[in-house]
Chain A
């Protein structure tokens, strides 16, 4: 009897301990992650739906949305092609210097976004290495659209590849070898054997790459030149509006980016769940 009671007490203590650990963790997440997320939407809708609609349809804001979409539309496909090619190289062949190649591939993740932007100014700026050539060709890269694209490519470079490499490594080459030995061409094998095998990993990489491409601030801020309605992406437009004390509009544009973030998280969980099921 006495022993039973003691055991009951211990299990009660354990349950209490467990409950308090869960509560502390949740409280931390609520204060540091959840409240800021809700605050974005609360700030955006503070003055009602009409003000919100007006804020996001304002010409400069519309221009920034278009620019952001256009940048992502260019950067993400480039990233997909590069990711597929580089992970094919890394997982399908054995060669010297693979470790070095992998390290170079990770560099953009280790570099501060501000540095990622500034190197393009040093290259293509008015006093940069290629300045005479660009002047001769009458091309403007920095403080213009091409610079924004280049800086975004730099910061997103590893995103698709690093999702694909583990997936392709795990899958191995046996199915591809079978396809090739049956006479299919390399490209056909790639399209009808490799791609279906890695589709979820690829989609996962695309989603992450897109989120970063649309949300990049530091690197783009350096190369954009902040020309309103021309070279301001959505995150830059948020900064401009905020610095003008136009908080409601700043949060309205932010809410669009927050919705993108939420969509990213939802798709990410669905894909993770799908991958685990397979």
Chain B
């Protein structure tokens, strides 16, 4: 990173921009978030532990972490493949496909939620099945797989939400990869597969890891696309954000705060991890988006 030294350049506005930036971030981000600490402080430690280790909470941690992990893993496999295909091969409508990858960023989560639920559920009135309504659900039901209102449904929604994070992390790195390395490896008689795993993949690992962490972090906090398809059954298909939502609806703000603190701790750890990965790889690519 190259920083512009302040002394000689007479670029104006340091005080003004600094003041406004700090004021805005303090009032709109830090003050609201500090409420979690203030509210949390009125909880005794034993009460805090009691809330966050209740059976219902543990069940939702298992679901949230498990489903987020599986979804992020699926996204790593298919996201890397999509990035590879987009960078290396030519095919019709490539630009359209490339743009479509960002759909989960652009489509409101509630819309994704009700659409996925409709596609994957099994309609009660079997005569009313259109291809967009219960089509996947009915097909999968025939081979004994239920998606809507099961943990599998949560995973499907989280795969949808997380895909662009992996593609957009891996794509730029793949683009910048020097073809000389591969050519050298191929010239020396290594097979295509060997070249991929020994030469290309090691270069992609930091990008894949950061894509995984971003997809995982987003999946943990995701609410809109999951609440419809999960069915929200306590102990079975209740994710952590929903646990918070339920407490809020019961005006149990202390309980909600306890879970929010747990989630925030996990999010910050993941954020540090992402920063560490991009620092470690010292590759300057855009991590989100």
Within 8 A of A (CB), among B104-143: 104-112, 114-116, 118-119, 130-133, 136
Q: Which listed residue, A29, A46, A125, A265, touches B106 by the CB 8 Å rule?
A: A265
Per-position 1/0 for A93-113, Cβ under 8 A of B: 111000001011111111111
Chain A contacts of B109 at CB under 8 A? 215, 217-218, 235
Nearest CB of A to B95, in Å: 7
Bound-state CA distance A40–B228 (Å) is 15
Q: Which listed residue, A33, A42, A128, A215, touches B101 by the CB 8 Å rule?
A: A33
The answer to whether B11 touches A21, judged by C-beta atoms less than 8 angstroms apart, is no
B248 at the interface (CB under 8 A from A): yes
Within 8 A of B (CB), among A232-278: 234-236, 238-239, 242, 247, 250-251, 254, 257-258, 260-262, 264-266, 268-269
A89 at the interface (CB under 8 A from B): yes
Chain B contacts of A182 at CB under 8 A? none
B187 at the interface (CB under 8 A from A): no
The answer to whether A14 touches B36, judged by C-beta atoms less than 8 angstroms apart, is no
The answer to whether A154 touches B29, judged by C-beta atoms less than 8 angstroms apart, is yes
The answer to whether A43 touches B110, judged by C-beta atoms less than 8 angstroms apart, is no
Nearest CB of A to B170, in Å: 12
Binds A, one of B52-60, B146-154, B204-212, B260-268: B260-268
Contact status of A93 and B248, CB under 8 A, knowing A43-B133, A110-B217, A114-B221: no
The answer to whether A266 touches B9, judged by C-beta atoms less than 8 angstroms apart, is no
| CB closest residue in chain B, given A102 | B275
Chain B contacts of A37 at CB under 8 A? 100, 103, 107
The answer to whether A265 touches B85, judged by C-beta atoms less than 8 angstroms apart, is no
Bound-state CA distance A140–B132 (Å) is 42
- Count contacts on B: residues with CB < 8 A to the other chain: 95
The answer to whether A28 touches B81, judged by C-beta atoms less than 8 angstroms apart, is yes
The answer to whether A173 touches B9, judged by C-beta atoms less than 8 angstroms apart, is yes
Nearest CB of A to B94, in Å: 10
The answer to whether B102 touches A39, judged by C-beta atoms less than 8 angstroms apart, is no
Contact status of A94 and B108, CB under 8 A, knowing A110-B271, A122-B39: no
Chain A contacts of B63 at CB under 8 A? none
Chain A contacts of B110 at CB under 8 A? 215, 217, 235-236, 238-239, 254
Per-position 1/0 for B69-80, Cβ under 8 A of A: 000000000100
B97 at the interface (CB under 8 A from A): yes
- Count contacts on A: residues with CB < 8 A to the other chain: 100
Chain B contacts of A14 at CB under 8 A? 192
Chain B contacts of A119 at CB under 8 A? 32-33, 35-36, 260
Contact status of A115 and B264, CB under 8 A, knowing A85-B21, A217-B223, A268-B99: yes
| CB closest residue in chain B, given A158 | B288
The answer to whether B24 touches A94, judged by C-beta atoms less than 8 angstroms apart, is no
| CB closest residue in chain B, given A37 | B103
Bound-state CA distance A266–B1 (Å) is 32
Chain B contacts of A251 at CB under 8 A? 114-115, 118
Contact status of A111 and B10, CB under 8 A, knowing A123-B32, A261-B108: no
Chain A contacts of B28 at CB under 8 A? 150, 153-154, 157
Chain A contacts of B114 at CB under 8 A? 238-239, 242, 250-251, 254
Contact status of A177 and B224, CB under 8 A, knowing A94-B3, A111-B33, A119-B36: no
Chain A contacts of B86 at CB under 8 A? 25
A53 at the interface (CB under 8 A from B): no
Q: Which listed residue, A85, A106, A176, A269, touches B99 by the CB 8 Å rule?
A: A269
| CB closest residue in chain B, given A17 | B192
* Chain A residues close to B by CB (< 8 Å): 14, 17-18, 21-22, 24-26, 28-29, 32-40, 42-43, 46, 82, 85-86, 88-89, 91-95, 101, 103-115, 118-123, 125, 127-129, 150, 153-154, 157, 162, 166, 169, 172-173, 176-177, 180-181, 186, 190, 208, 211, 214-218, 221-222, 234-236, 238-239, 242, 247, 250-251, 254, 257-258, 260-262, 264-266, 268-269
Can you list 24 A-B contacts (CB < 8 A)? A32-B159, A32-B160, A39-B132, A85-B21, A92-B11, A93-B4, A93-B6, A110-B271, A112-B223, A113-B221, A113-B224, A114-B221, A115-B264, A123-B32, A173-B9, A177-B10, A180-B12, A211-B105, A215-B110, A218-B109, A235-B108, A236-B110, A238-B111, A265-B106
A-B pairs with the 5 shortest C-beta distances? Answer: A215-B108, A112-B221, A217-B224, A186-B12, A218-B223
